[in-house]
């Protein structure tokens, strides 16, 4: 009887040890695979985000007086963003949900700014309200890109967002539109 109990104990211990090793090894391998995927995605996203950040230079924080874009310029900007999104490198495929929402907001703001009213042409200047909406959307998108790739003092907690860039103050603000 003692031998049977000892044998059952050995078999049961071996079986539990094998199951424990399997579960531990499997979860470790899954974590390694997920980490490798995340690193690859981050590297690819970084390349695409750098390109988008570069494309967004056409919509700066402000336009100096006399250098405001026309509707034709905004149409060109919209095409550049569109080409980045659907281009050969498929940049839009790598946007996080938050960045995609802000990208689409920018595209919508550009589309709204392109609408011409009675007596306006494609070369007419953009209204101040449309200009501000486009610049605000571009700024929010750039902030999200920075947050997504984890640069420029990344937040330690996921729910903390990098602060907005403050508008210019004083004399600099008076000479700008």
Tokens 């984890």 correspond to what residue?
Answer: 150
pLDDT at 14: 83
Q: In this predicted structure, what is the pLDDT of residue 95?
A: 92
Instruction: Write the pLDDT tens digit of every residue in 31-70.
Output: 887 877 777 878 888 899 999 998 888 888 887 777 788 8
pLDDT average, residue stretch 80-108: 92
List phi, psi (to 5°) of 130: -65, -40
Distance CA 116, CA 111 (A): 10
> Read out DSSP for 71-116?
HHHHHHHHHHHHHHHHSTT-GGGG--HHHHHHHHHHHHHHHHHH--
What is the secondary structure of 116-172 as a DSSP string? --TT--TTSBPPHHHHHHHHHHHHHHHHHHHHHHT-SS--SSTT--PPPPPPP-THH
Using a pLDDT cut of 70, give the percent of the chain over it.
85
* Cβ–Cβ under 8 Å, residues 108 and 61: no
Q: Which pTM does this prediction carry?
A: 0.68
Measured in whole angstroms, how far is the alpha carbon of residue 35 from the centre of its chain?
20
């Amino acid at each position: 009887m003692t031998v049977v109990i000892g044998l059952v104990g050995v078999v049961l211990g071996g079986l539990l040890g094998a199951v424990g090793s399997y579960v531990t090894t499997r979860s470790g391998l899954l974590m390694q695979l997920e980490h490798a995927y995340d690193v690859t995605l981050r590297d690819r996203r970084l390349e695409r985000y750098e390109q988008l950040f570069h494309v967004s230079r056409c919509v700066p924080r402000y336009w100096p007086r006399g250098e405001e874009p026309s509707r034709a310029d905004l149409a060109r900007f919209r095409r550049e963003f569109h080409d980045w999104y659907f281009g050969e490198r498929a940049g839009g495929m790598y946007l996080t949900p938050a960045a995609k929402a802000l990208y689409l907001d920018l595209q919508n703001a550009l589309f709204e700014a392109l609408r011409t009213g009675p007596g306006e042409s494609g070369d007419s200047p953009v209204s101040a309200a449309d200009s501000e909406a486009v610049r605000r959307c571009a700024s929010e998108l750039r902030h999200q890109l920075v947050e997504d790739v984890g640069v420029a003092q990344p937040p330690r907690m996921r729910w903390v967002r990098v602060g907005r860039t403050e508008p210019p103050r004083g004399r600099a603000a008076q000479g700008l539109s």
